[in-house]
Amino acid sequence: MRLLLAIGLALVLAPAASAACPSAADLEDELICPTCKTTLDQSDAPVARRIKAYVARRADDCASKQQIKDELVAQFGPSVLAAPPREGFHWLAWILPLAGLLAAAGVVSVLVWRWSRSRSVEAAADSNGRPPLDPELERRLDRELARYDR
| E strand map for 43-113 | none
* Residue 52 CB neighbour total at 10 angstroms: 20
Spatial separation of the C-alpha atoms in residues 105 and 128, rounded to whole Å? 36
Q: How far is CA 57 from the centre of its chain?
A: 32
How does pLDDT run across 16-40, given as a tens digit for each residue?
A: 444 568 777 878 888 888 888 888 8
CA dihedral 51, 56, 59, 64 (to 10 degrees): 20
Per-residue pLDDT, averaged over 103-130, amounts to 77
126: confidence class by pLDDT, cuts 50, 70, 90: low
pLDDT of residue 18: 47
Helix (DSSP H) and strand (DSSP E) numbers for the chain: 6, 0
Per-residue pLDDT, averaged over 3-23, amounts to 60
Per-residue pLDDT, averaged over 129-140, amounts to 82
How does pLDDT run across 60-76, given as a tens digit for each residue?
A: 888 888 898 889 889 88
pLDDT of residue 99: 92
pLDDT exceeds 90 at position 128 = no
